[in-house]
Homo-oligomer: A and B are copies of this chain.
Amino acid sequence: MAHSKGQIMTKETTKTSFQTFENRGGPAHTAQRITQLRAELKKKKLNGFIIPRADEHLNEYVSAHDERLLWLTGFSGSAGIAIILETKAAIFIDGRYTLQVQSEVDQNIITPQAITQTRPSHWLKQHVKKGMSIGIDPKLLSVANFETLNEALEQKQARLVSMPNNPIDTIWQTQPQKPSSPVIGHPKKYTGQEPAEKIKQIQEVLKNKGADAFIATAPESVCWLFNIRGQDVPHTPIMLAHAIIHARAKPEVFINSDRLNTRAKDHITCTAKLSAPENFESSLKALGAKFKKVLIDPDRTNSAIYQTLRASRSEIIRGQDPISLPKAKKNKAEIEGMKSAHERDGVAITRFLYWLSQVPKDQPITEIEAAQSLENFRYQTGALKDLSFETISGAGPNGAIVHYRVSEKTNRQLKQGELYLVDSGAQYQDGTTDITRTLAIGEPKPGMIKHYTMVLKAHINLTTAFFPKGSRGVDLDPFARAPLWQAGLDYNHGTGHGVGSFLSVHEGPQSISRRSTVPLEPGMILSNEPGYYKQGAYGIRLENLILVKDPEDITGGEHPMMSFETLTLAPFDKNLIDISLLSKSELKWLNTYHRSVWKTLSKHLKGSEKAWLKTATAALKL
């Protein structure tokens, strides 16, 4: 194990690398590639083309094959959409990417637009003329987005044209292959439930909704239902496959059987019909031929599927993916797995924190070195399957960029007197983790301590909340914000997202935010991650995962109340806590939490690491 800067940088100790730090994107090729695309569009008699960052499954993470927006424009963010017309071009991004897009695309060629101010549909209405044909790849747009764009064009008497072959794929000579990773069966000790039971449950939901079938387009849903996992995209252990769940017949799963290991094949063939991906379309058409009522989730279904269903006369029912809710409510085996994963991950985090504490003042490490070291400690658990996302490793002002990605270009030293924010997670077979800690490098300044303590209060206030059955994310979000609002502070992101079980680190339907109207239910796992960001100076975010517990009676109370159990195990940086700002009950929570961190993790540690944890988790006293 590596304690000093020199050691951890050698290839021998860094055994694995689920994250790269190269300068992705950039404006070098924007002009040339957009020219190429325009020539291709001309051949196809199109006046424009729309390029979202998306794959056929509308996933958050996409495979290299689907990085068309990055290839074309140079923009490497995780969300965006470009519209290329004959003489004009725009790229629409959200507030996270305002600065990044400016450095990554050639602004002489393509104009960045803040999507909250100018929707792509509005921009189209301004720039499109009567009679124009604007192309899309219908597989890369959700039904909901397709309809918005289509309506905008119809208003201008222009047309949205669905292209069977994506023109980018035609001109992109070096486009990587579609992924086709091995698919493995996920054992029952982790899933707690056989596919047959799960399928039955979903079929009941379909019958209640009056649907004959559901088109499962989200790979996480297919993975959960059949207890299988893949490696088609980074950081989420999924394979890109569709399924049709029939209410009264065996499901159909569309995947090449040679990708499946024995257990995966078992899981599917015992309960479903295995079919090659190229049969998906004819199966969709078959539904229409029988006038079936078909449930789709308009936010997760691409418009090619929708068009096929409509053309073949299916009756469409729109609704939320019925698999997402049971998937979000973790069963006993999944909860136990998540707890084991967090114990393992907590040990890796603790070793990393100790390692950081030992970095010599005069030999500061960099953000990349810190991220590599953390990955290495996780790798040394022997159970790491992937990172659950690219580690956000931000020192000083980089910590204030909420979705910061460290690259060779942005890499910064962890300097004395600055804060370091590290938001990271791991994929283990038994569970997915996501944790953020903010640390003082050297002596922190009073403002840092005040802001850290306020964020900690926000975190504690949510973690210790009691709430009745039926409470939704929107009802819980103010618990975290109230202490910050009281001090004139706030953060410009949601408070918590759902987390999958060896699946996506961002999962619905639940979340904790001002928009979330899904009731929280026992077994759901969410993040609790309030923050504070001082532009150009530092960022603070404190994140643990929390499990929604069953309603419990409260002494003297009348309504059983739900509450949270904290899963994440790692100390908070006591150098950044001003206990005079904490209430008695907040201090009590902190000490109790630290005691449980010590109790659970210390048995896995030895020597100076163990001694460090003892100090780090020792009770604070008023």
Contacts and interface: CB of A to CB of B under 8 A. Distances in A.
A315 interface: no
A426 B501 CA distance: 58
Contact of A482 (B479, B486, B490, B559): B479
Interface stretch (A52-60, A132-140, A248-256, A468-476): A468-476
Nearest to A553: B488
Interface residues of A, number: 30
A554 B490 CA distance: 12
Interface string A457-498: 000000001111000101111110010011111100000000
Given A475-B477, A477-B475, A559-B490, A485 B514 contact: no
Nearest to A450: B556
A178 B474 CA distance: 45
A553 B476 CA distance: 25
A557 interface: yes
A555 B486 CA distance: 10
A560 interface: yes
Nearest to A562: B485
Interface in A546-599: 553-561, 583
Contacts of A465: 482, 485-486
Contacts of A488: 466, 553-561
- Chain A interface main SS type: loop
Contact of A478 (B476, B487, B557, B558): B476
Contacts of A561: 485, 488
Copies, count: 2
A468 B450 contact: no
A122 to B, nearest CB: 16
A468 B475 CA distance: 16
Interface in A482-534: 482, 485-490, 514
B487 A468 contact: no
Given A475-B477, A475-B514, A477-B475, A468 B482 contact: no
Contacts of A553: 488
A158 B475 CA distance: 42
Contacts of A555: 488
A240 B467 CA distance: 44
A556 B451 CA distance: 10
Contacts of A478: 475-476, 478-479
A448 to B, nearest CB: 13
A548 B467 CA distance: 27
A278 to B, nearest CB: 41
A558 B476 contact: no
Contacts of A467: 485
A569 to B, nearest CB: 25
A466 B485 contact: yes
A561 B559 CA distance: 33
Contacts of A472: 514
A557 B474 CA distance: 24
Interface string A209-226: 000000000000000000
A465 B488 CA distance: 11
A187 B485 CA distance: 40
Nearest to A487: B557
A407 B568 CA distance: 58
A467 B465 CA distance: 19
Nearest to A447: B556
Given A466-B485, A475-B478, 16 more contacts: A465-B486, A466-B488, A468-B485, A475-B477, A475-B514, A478-B479, A479-B482, A485-B561, A487-B554, A487-B556, A488-B553, A488-B554, A488-B557, A488-B560, A488-B561, A583-B583
10 contacts: A450-B556, A465-B485, A466-B485, A466-B486, A472-B514, A475-B514, A478-B479, A488-B554, A488-B557, A488-B560
The list of the 8 closest CB pairs from A to B, nearest first, reads: A488-B557, A488-B554, A478-B478, A466-B485, A466-B486, A490-B559, A475-B478, A487-B557
